[in-house]
């Protein structure tokens, strides 16, 4: 595999940092740390560039909080200037790795995303009798730093870029505790190996996709499973032969162990497609596609909050219109014509 060098000057180029800053503040322009950065915008970018060039750059502390949509997750928000660095790095590095990803890896990739994953899933689902649908247990908290760095070094040889990547990985804040033993471990191994990436980082999303890239190729090229797709840590295999999928599950377990990962014991199931399956917020059935109940419940809460924000002038008309159009377009990917009518019929937005 060809390794790429001479990347660092492209990462710290002022134009790249400028574009990174614009991307990092999208939808967050009025946050206090963004406003403070923008008050001395060019000076801040030049200072960041100097810190990166001299390797004196050090990430700041994370702000952590929990969300419960749909399950409890620990979210870590990096300081704004660090998010600028994350975008600058990904602008240059992500395209290098993206060329190595399989067609059916859909998360955090330009031109892919949830709706394209849904269409592909429906095509596989409705042309197969069985599905092996899996979820990796505590994926982000389980990602092993040493293994991740090894995978990155298979494609990148630029020492300055590797320094920056290692700096970002090494400054990951503590995540949800995960204790799992794998072949060759002794009693202390799970506690001695550093693992876990903060979910809120753009770099973490990229690293999470990269971490399972070899697994994707294993499923497609060693197991010869043509009907396969993955969205972050959720993946599914489809076939008309139940025994073939059962055998694949055992071999997948063994491969994931080499990455110090395990499948979720409850969420990883082999079943007939006629029973229906959940994917990216939808319930796919043999003859229709519905929105999952918990997603609809969250959407109603969000719409009520937007009503209140619009009334109190915390949300302008353009932002409101863009959000509503986005949600309507999302619903349109399912059989939701009647639902959309019911959802918006009683919705009124008025200024206070």
pLDDT at 348: 66
Query: Cα-flanking dihedrals φ and ψ of residue 318, to 5°?
Result: -65, -45
Which of 203, 238, 213, 179 shows the shortest CA–CA distance to 97?
213
pLDDT at 352: 60
pLDDT at 310: 78
pLDDT at 347: 67
Per-residue pLDDT of the chain (352 residues; tens, 9 = 90+): 678 889 999 999 999 999 999 999 887 777 787 888 889 999 999 999 999 999 999 999 998 887 776 667 788 889 999 999 999 999 999 999 999 999 999 998 988 888 999 999 999 999 999 999 999 999 999 999 999 999 999 999 999 999 999 999 999 998 888 999 999 999 999 999 999 999 989 999 999 999 999 999 999 999 999 999 999 999 999 999 999 999 999 999 999 999 999 999 999 999 999 999 999 889 999 999 888 777 777 777 877 787 777 787 777 778 777 877 877 777 777 777 777 667 666 666 666 6
pLDDT at 77: 86
**Ramachandran region of residue 292, left (φ > 0), alpha (ψ -120 to 50) or beta?**
beta
Taking the whole predicted model, whether its pTM rises above 0.75 is answered as yes
pLDDT at 1: 62
């Amino acid at each position: 595999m060809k390794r790429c060098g001479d990347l660092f000057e492209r990462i710290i180029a002022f134009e790249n940092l400028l574009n990174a800053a614009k991307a990092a503040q999208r939808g967050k322009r009025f946050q206090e740390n963004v406003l403070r950065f923008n008050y001395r915008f060019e000076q801040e970018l030049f200072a960041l560039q100097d810190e990166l060039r001299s390797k004196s750059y050090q990430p700041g502390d994370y702000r952590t909080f929990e969300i419960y949509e749909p399950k409890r997750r620990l979210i870590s928000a990096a300081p704004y200037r660090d998010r600028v660095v994350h975008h600058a790095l990904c602008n240059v590095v992500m395209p290098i790795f993206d060329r190595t990803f399989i067609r059916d890896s859909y998360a955090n990739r330009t031109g892919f995303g949830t709706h394209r994953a849904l269409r592909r899933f429906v095509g596989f689902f409705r042309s197969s009798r069985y599905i092996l649908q899996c979820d990796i247990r505590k994926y982000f908290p389980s990602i092993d730093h040493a293994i991740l760095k090894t995978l990155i070094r298979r494609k990148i040889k630029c020492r300055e870029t590797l320094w920056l990547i290692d700096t970002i990985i090494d400054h990951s804040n503590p995540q949800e505790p995960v204790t799992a033993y794998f072949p060759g471990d002794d009693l202390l191994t799970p506690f001695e190996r550093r693992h876990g990436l903060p979910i809120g980082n753009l770099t973490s999303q990229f690293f999470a996709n990269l971490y399972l890239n070899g697994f994707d190729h294993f499923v497609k090229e060693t197991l010869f499973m043509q009907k396969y797709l993955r969205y972050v840590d959720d993946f599914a295999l489809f076939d008309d032969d139940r025994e073939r999928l059962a055998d694949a599950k055992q071999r997948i377990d063994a491969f994931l162990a080499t990455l110090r990962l395990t499948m979720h014991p409850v969420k990883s199931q082999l079943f007939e497609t006629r029973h229906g399956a959940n994917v990216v917020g939808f319930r796919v059935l043999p003859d229709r596609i519905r929105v999952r109940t918990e997603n609809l419940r969250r959407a109603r809460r969000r719409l009520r909050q937007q009503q209140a924000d619009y009334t109190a002038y915390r949300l302008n008309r353009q932002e409101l219109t863009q959000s509503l159009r986005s949600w309507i377009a999302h619903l349109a990917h399912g059989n939701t014509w009647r639902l959309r009518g019911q959802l918006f019929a009683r919705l009124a937005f008025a200024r206070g």
